[in-house]
Amino acid sequence: MRLKDLISLLEMKGFKGDIEVEIKDIAYDSRKVKEGSLFIAMRGYITDGHEYIKDALRKGAAAIVSEEYEPSEANNREITAFITVSDSRRALALLSDRFYGHPSGTLRLIGITGTNGKTTTSYLIRSILDSAQKKVGLLGTINYIIKNGLILPASHTTPEALELQGYLAEMMAGGAEYAVLEVSSHSLTLQRVVGCEFEVVLFTNLSQEHLDFHKTMEDYFRAKKGLFNLLRPGGVAVINIDDPAGKSLAGEL
């Protein structure tokens, strides 16, 4: 896929290089960069991907997406393209979705969020769809059910955007009609599901948890609410209004 077709959705702050270059794959871990890769430098909680841009270049990255543009570094090295954005995480999600052909435009995505009950709900829904003889994949806390009996151990409740879109593309290629996703508040805050279109979204409940990450219950609630912004036109929201946060959410939508 050509770089210009990948980056058309990005709000770029700067660009340098050949927009026609062919991109063979995407990586956000410099250890996985190969000749022709698009490397996306993201800031993490332990390491900063911007520190590994030089490693990515040495391994043959065809393009770099980052939040910092260093003309001296770009000019002194043989790089093909250097793209600057304000948010690398959002860029990763949008680029991954485009690279894998926007699988959620074909699959019928069902997303579940809430503090408790996501896993149980996801397996209930999968069982119902399976009983209706529908082909369905699942991504959640216990494992990732992809296609033709392929089951992978879960690394996160909701995978990083690149892996998420890759799994959805595999499901689609395997003939799946539906994909059931547990969508964590972390993944919503870190924008892993940006670019996804959900046909159904569910809210189970909200209780005090993950405040080491979200700091306040208001922030935690706001993160959960973000899933409903990804509901496609005509989609369905299912909300537990016995829960006070659910009742508030239903009133705000």
Condensed to tens digits (0 to 9), the pLDDT of residues 16-59 reads 999 999 999 999 999 999 999 999 999 987 889 999 999 999 99
The burial class, CB within 10 Å (0-12 / 13-18 / 19+), for 149 is exposed
pLDDT surpassing 50 at residue 76? no
> What pTM value is reported for the model?
0.92
Task: Please say whether the beta carbons of 145 and 164 come within 8 A.
Answer: no
Q: Could you tell me which residue, 76 or 172, shows the higher pLDDT?
A: 172
Return the pLDDT at 70.
Answer: 63
Taking the C-alpha atoms of residue 55 and residue 49, their distance in angstroms, rounded to an integer, is 10
Summarised one tens digit per residue, pLDDT across range 211-230 is: 666 578 888 898 899 999 99
Taking the C-alpha atoms of residue 109 and residue 137, their distance in angstroms, rounded to an integer, is 10
Return the pLDDT at 209.
Answer: 66
Summarised one tens digit per residue, pLDDT across range 129-145 is: 999 999 999 999 999 99
Number of residues that this document lists for the chain: 253
The token duo for 179 is 């994909």
- Average pLDDT, integer, range 161-166: 98
Report the SS3 class of residue 46: coil
Q: Which helix (H) or strand (E) holds 112?
A: strand 108-113
Q: Let me know the angle formed at the C-alpha of 124 by 120 and 125, rounded to the nearest 5 degrees.
A: 120
